[in-house]
Amino acid sequence: MSNVVLDSKVPEGPIQDRWDNHKFNMKLVNPANKRKFTVLVVGTGLAGAAAAATLAELGYQVKCFTFHDSPRRAHSIAAQGGINAAKNYKNDGDSVYRLFYDTVKGGDFRARESNVYRLAQVSVNIIDQCVAQGVPFAREYGGLLDNRSFGGAQVSRTFYARGQTGQQLLLGAYQALMQQVSLGRVELHTKTELLDVVKKDGVAVGIVTRNVTTGEVQSWSGHATLLCTGGYGNAFYLSTNAMNSNVTAAWRAHKKGALFANACYTQIHPTCIPASDESQSKLTLMSESLRNDGRIWVPKKFDDNRPADQIPEEDRDYYLERKYPSYGNLAPRDIASRAAKVVCDEGRGVGPLKNGVYLDFSESISRLGETTVFERYGNLFDMYERITDENPMKVPMRIYPASHYTMGGLWVDYNLMTTVPGLYALGEANFSDHGANRLGASALMQGLADGYFVAPYTVGDYLAGLLGQGVVPTSDPVFVEAEQAVRDETRRWLSVGGTKSPEYYHRELGKLVWDYCGMARDKNGLEKALSEIPALREEFQKNVRVLGSAEGVNQSLEKVGRVADFFDLGELMCRDALMREESCGGHFRVEHQTDDGEAQRNDEEFSFVGAWEWNGDGTAQTLHKEQLVFENVKPTQRSYK
């Protein structure tokens, strides 16, 4: 065990003043000196594009990397619903404090209060910034910004651009980034994948990348490195994440000494289209808003094979309305997801694979009329019909929960720095802000907060201390060795000569992680997974087949390294879930529930962030704890009855 000390570096003083005081106390770099610093930004999603553009505007030399062919393709593009901000434009009692409070409570009291407060504070600047850039948020007839309510909040604080909010926010950040590219302040490297983080004397000094078009392996040095590389929901194989989303950047950083926190905090979204067969490659999210007018049910009888319209009312079980009379179909994400799993596990699932539940609009249609219902959800119905060939106006939709977001990630302090000096993590890649459960419309907010308004200050504070120091040249042995290791690994994968594709192993791994570390977890299952995952990994290492060469485009080669990292991560998710002998937010341990089946936290023993330290291949990680302190919001038990 090493001597890692988890110092959150949270500033002193009343929570309202902490960020302002901190900004005042941070060191500044004068404009002439900013040019002397090189910052590497990996990832061009909301977090990365915002950070790269802003740092360049400030005058730093920025090098920006993405494995996509354009910054605009980052997974942030797919976010639908909206982005929260405490503007209180609706005069409905919203405030920075309320957004802070809702987020801490929504996270089931497992987030760091100071970070969340800052997030709520800067949320208002985000909307201003995005509007100035030309993000076409929805408007009211008078020309003012429109808001909707979202994810159980009692106020309307969600800004949106049709069902394409992530797309529009990302395009805004992408355009700001491209402007800096045109001004020569950002050097953009697309199709360039980070494969290692390089350290010298304990400090991050750069990265090693592979160009996925040419196969060229190359080093880059910088005074600071920002990982803005997204979440790890694809550990489950099937998820709503884009096909190429992966954990590799964060994981390679973890192997270089960055602690990985709360790996078991994953969010399962209740309303996705169920898998249709083994060939399914990803799952599609259907907006949560559908639950406002759709009623969720399954047949009362097991193996009831009648079509939905031939099952009479008395044979239907509207289980959410039955179990949670006051919240009904609007129960929070984690609760609705688990309830669907329970009925499907009982054998009451619907659809050809019995892996879904009905979301039925017939009652709304008779109450509101076809036109109104179609006006509200027409675009979603079209999307659903394209995939399933069923029209939800006529046949109830089938839905099932799917992996959607990961709250865990690289441990960072208040400055968003990991446990490796000079290495930062922003956006979904870090663990901060959402605790054990994320509220809807808060991930976009966090990505942009980190990128536009937090990291540009805190990175400057770090750089100020490096004045006069050049970057470590890429001819230094630390880079040369890291490059060689990447080339060796590539060669090793190409020479395994097994029989199955990387995709096959990803799917098999995903099944294990989903079955044992998905919506409900227990000791037996987790222990089983911890013995089955290493066994499958061994087979993978011996029997995977990667054809082609290291030069030029080789998608199997890109994939195999990502799958290898998912194996290690899947194991850590299970280890973290096994350690956490309580239920909280997205982490539900079957052994820890209240009499009526709700998550039972154990604040006495588990009010901490679980941050794991890598100890080398084949050795279990070491747990470090950051104790959480709640000075402002009192932890309470959530109830939705």
Ligand X SMILES: Cc1cc2nc3c(=O)[nH]c(=O)nc-3n(C[C@H](O)[C@H](O)[C@H](O)COP(=O)(O)OP(=O)(O)OC[C@H]3O[C@@H](n4cnc5c(N)ncnc54)[C@H](O)[C@@H]3O)c2cc1C
Q: Would you name the residues annotated as active-site residues? A: 333
236 phi and psi angles, rounded to 5 deg: -85, 5
89 binds other proteins (CB under 8 A): yes
Among 78-86, 316-324, 340-348, 350-358, the segment contacting ligand X (CB under 6 A)? 78-86
> Considering the complex, what minimum distance in angstroms separates the CB of residue 48 from ligand X?
6
Interface residues for ligand X in 422-441 (CB under 6 A)? 427-429, 441
Report d(CA 186, CA 206) in Å as an integer: 16
Among 217-225, 552-560, 579-587, 603-611, the segment contacting other proteins (CB under 8 A)? 552-560
Pull the structure tokens for residue 549: 């060469």
Q: What would the 3-class secondary structure string for 162-205 be?
A: CCCHHHHHHHHHHHHHHHHHHCCCEEEECCEEEEEEEEECCEEE
Scanning the structure block, which residue is given the tokens 């939800």? 392
367 binds other proteins (CB under 8 A): no
Name which of 110 and 404 has its Cβ closer to ligand X: 404
Instruction: Check if the beta carbon of residue 229 is closer than 8 Å to that of residue 245.
Output: no
Q: Which long-range contacts (CB under 8 A, 24 or more apart) does 531-534 make?
A: 533/509, 533/567, 533/570, 533/571, 533/574, 534/571
Among 263-271, 282-290, 476-484, 513-521, the segment contacting other proteins (CB under 8 A)? 282-290
> Considering the complex, what minimum distance in angstroms separates the CB of residue 432 from ligand X?
12
Report d(CA 592, CA 590) in Å as an integer: 5
- Helix (H) / strand (E) containing 446: helix 443-448
Among 241-249, 256-264, 289-297, 528-536, the segment contacting ligand X (CB under 6 A)? 241-249
Interface residues for other proteins in 595-624 (CB under 8 A)? none
List of E strands, 293-383: 295-299, 316-317, 357-360
Side by side, which strands form the sheet with 316-317?
266-272, 397-406, 357-360, 295-299, 316-317
Interface residues for ligand X in 487-506 (CB under 6 A)? none
375 phi and psi angles, rounded to 5 deg: -60, -40
Instruction: Check if the beta carbon of residue 265 is closer than 8 Å to that of residue 407.
Output: yes
219 binds other proteins (CB under 8 A): no
* Among the listed residues 171, 247, 339, 407, the single contact to other proteins using CB under 8 A: 171
Mark residue 82 as left, alpha or beta (left: phi above 0; alpha: psi -120 to 50; beta: remaining).
Answer: left
50 phi and psi angles, rounded to 5 deg: -65, -45
Name which of 273 and 311 has its Cβ closer to ligand X: 273
Site track for ligand X across 46-75, x = CB under 6 A = xxx----------------xxxx-----xx
Say how many residues touch ligand X, by CB under 6 A.
44
Name which of 351 and 447 has its Cβ closer to ligand X: 447
- Interacting partner of 167 out of ligand X, other proteins, none (Cβ under 5 to 8 A depending on kind): other proteins
- Interacting partner of 335 out of ligand X, other proteins, none (Cβ under 5 to 8 A depending on kind): none
Q: Which amino acid is at 24?
A: F
Among 39-47, 223-231, 308-316, 540-548, the segment contacting other proteins (CB under 8 A)? 540-548
- Interacting partner of 190 out of other proteins, ligand X, none (Cβ under 5 to 8 A depending on kind): other proteins
Pull the structure tokens for residue 136: 């076409």
Pull the structure tokens for residue 385: 């019909």
- Interacting partner of 243 out of other proteins, ligand X, none (Cβ under 5 to 8 A depending on kind): other proteins
504 binds other proteins (CB under 8 A): yes
194 binds ligand X (CB under 6 A): yes
410 binds ligand X (CB under 6 A): no
Residues lying near ligand X in the complex (CB under 6 A): 42-48, 65-68, 74-76, 78-83, 165-166, 193-194, 228-231, 240-241, 245, 248-249, 285, 404-405, 427-429, 441-444, 447
